[in-house]
Structure 1
C-alpha cells in the first residue's frame, strides 16, 4: 500500500532560482502534496539540512553524502533541477535504500537541438563570418563569398553520442536527406539503427563526415576523447558542432586545428565559464562562439518545474517517476559533469 501521509518537500534549487523554474500553479501543486519548504538563503549547511532531514522529496543539487542520507529516513527522491547527475551524491546508498535520483535534462534537448542546427548551417554557409566581413568592409559577393561553403543537403553527418540531444537533432536534419553515422558505445547497434542511423566506430564517424555533432555527456571514459589525433582524422574543411560538454574534447587541440584552417568549429560550451576576455579563441576566424545559451530559454526552465511536479505527484501516489531522467546504477557514477555557474 502506498504511504498516504502528507509529504514534506524541500526545495533548494541553487544555482537555479525558484521563480525561474516554478510558476505559482506548480508551487501550489507541490504544497498540495503536504508541506513545502523553500531554501534560497545561502548554502545548504548541516544546520539547515537537519531542520529538513525528515523530507520525503528533495528538489535541488546540494551535496548528499552518506552522512546526510542516513539522517534522511523518509527520503524517497532527489530531483536535480540543474540538469546533470553530479558526483556529489552517494548513489550506492540511494540505490540500496530505495531513494530515486532524477534530473531534468530532457527539457533542454529541443532548444539545444534547435541552436545546434542553426550553428551547423552557419558553419556550412559562413553566414556570421560574412556578416563580420560586411561590417568591416571586406565582404565578398556571390560565388566569391561561398568558395569554401557547403550545403547540408544529402551530406554525410556524424554524431558522437546519441542520447536525448542527438535524438532531438535527428528530425531537424530529416528534410536535408542526410546520411547519418553515429558513435555511442553505451548503445547497441540495433538501437542506433532503429533511429535511421548507421552505427559506426569513432574513426569512421570522423573520417566520413563533413559535419559532426558532439552531443555526448562527459564521463570517466570519454574525457578528452576528441584530441589532436581525432581532429586530424577529419577531412579538411569539415565542421564540428560542440553542444554537450567541453570535457569531451581536448579544447586546446580543437582550437589549434581551427586556427590552422583544418576544421571549422561551433561551440556553446567551454572548459571554464565565463571565458576570459583575452582568450585566444576570440581571435580565431573559423570558430563560432555561443555563451552557453543553447538551452537557457524561459519556456525550457519552466518545463523543469512542470516535470518536477508531475514526478513528485507520481511518487506521492507510490508510482515510478516518468518525466525526469532516472539515474542508473551501472552508469551514474561515471558521469563527470560540473555544476552550472548560475541559473
Structure 2
C-alpha cells in the first residue's frame, strides 16, 4: 500500500528542529514526506495535492487549493500561532482539523515567568550586578524591597495551557490565586483551585500579576494606564504572552513612576530597537522572547504530531494537539514568529 503523503512546510521551524532523529525516521518510514515552500503549495503537482493527508506547518491556502486536496485530514500548525491565512470555514465544513502544538511551550514559559517574578521579589539580578561592581548590600540592607511570594495574593490573566501550567508551579507557594479568563466558565477555573475573578479584582487585589492571555481582536491594549493605576503600589507585573495585550508605553510609565515593578518576555517590536527606552528602565526586567524556545519543547512538537497522525490513520480524533475552534479561531490575532 502506498504511504500517505505529508506536505512539510513548517517555516520558520524545520523537521530537524521539531523531530528527534528517531521520530524523523518514524515519520519517513510511515509517510511520503514532500518538502515544500509555504508560498508554493499551490504549485505542487496535482497528484501530490490530491494524495496529501497531512500538512505540517501553516502555509497560506486558498479555497481553490483546498478543493484539490481531497484526502486532507489535518493541518499541524507547528508555528503555534493561528494565522488568518486560510479559509477556516471551508476546513470546518469538510471536517479537516487545524491543530496547534503550542501547548509544548506552557511549562518552559511558566517556569521562566516564575523566575522573573522571584527575581523582582528578591532583587536577584540587581544584587548580583551590584556585587560585581563591589557595591553589594549585605544581609537586611540588601532586602529593603524584598518580599515573599509564599502566602501572597497572585492574579493570573488568561487561563489556557500556560495559565494552567503556571498555576501548577505556584501551588507550592500557598498563595491565594485569582484568575480571570472571559472565555472560560467560572466552574472550570474553580476546578483548578483558583478563584474566578473579574479583571479589576485580579489587578487591584494581587501582589503578583501574571499576564498569559492569548492576543485576540478583543483584548488589544486591554491593560493601559487605568489598569496599572488600580494595581497595588509595589506589585509585580509579569508579561509572558503577547505585548499587544498591554499598552506598553503605559506599562513603562507605571514602572518609571515607581508604582509597580515589571518583567516581560515579549515586546511590541522584536527585535527591539537598540535605543528603545525599556532597555534601560530601572524596575523593569527584560527577557528576549526566549521563555519557550527550548529544544526539549520543540522536540515535543514532533512527538505530538506523530501520535495524532497515528490516531487519525486509525480513524480516531487527534488528542495531543489543540484543535482550533470554529467560534474563536477568527478572533486570534497573534503575529507569526520569524525565528525559533
TM-score class normalised by the smaller sequence: over 0.9
Instruction: Report the counterpart of residue 26 of structure 2 in structure 1.
Output: 29
Instruction: Report the counterpart of residue 194 of structure 2 in structure 1.
Output: 197
Partner Cα distance (2:23, 2:248) in 1: 40
Does 2:249 match 1:252?
yes
Does 2:116 match 1:119?
yes
Does 2:265 match 1:265?
no
> 134-143 or 294-303, which moves further after superposition?
134-143
Partner Cα distance (2:293, 2:31) in 1: 31
Does 2:107 match 1:110?
yes
1:230 partner SS: helix
Instruction: Report the counterpart of residue 92 of structure 2 in structure 1.
Output: 95
Q: What is the deviation of 1:32?
A: 3.5
Instruction: Report the counterpart of residue 6 of structure 2 in structure 1.
Output: 9
Q: Is the 8 A contact 2:38 2:60 kept in 1?
A: no
Partner Cα distance (1:51, 1:156) in 2: 59
Does 2:99 match 1:136?
no
1:146 to 125, 143, 146: 143
Q: What is the deviation of 1:43?
A: 4.2
Q: What is the deviation of 1:316?
A: 1.3
2:237 partner SS: strand
Q: What is the deviation of 1:49?
A: 7.4
- TM-score w.r.t. the length of structure 2 is 0.95
Instruction: Report the counterpart of residue 324 of structure 2 in structure 1.
Output: 327
- TM-score w.r.t. the length of structure 1 is 0.95
Instruction: Report the counterpart of residue 157 of structure 1 in structure 2.
Output: 154
1:64 partner SS: coil
Does 2:254 match 1:278?
no
Q: Is the 8 A contact 1:182 1:197 kept in 2?
A: yes
Q: What is the deviation of 1:132?
A: 2.1
* Unmatched segments (≥5 aa) in structure 1: none
2:319 partner SS: coil
Q: Is the 8 A contact 1:129 1:285 kept in 2?
A: no
Does 2:224 match 1:227?
yes
1:44 to 40, 54, 73: 40
2:49 partner SS: coil
Q: What is the deviation of 1:293?
A: 0.8
Partner Cα distance (2:7, 2:20) in 1: 17
Number of corresponding residues: 339
Q: Is the 8 A contact 1:158 1:182 kept in 2?
A: yes
Q: What is the deviation of 1:162?
A: 0.7
RMSD: 1.6
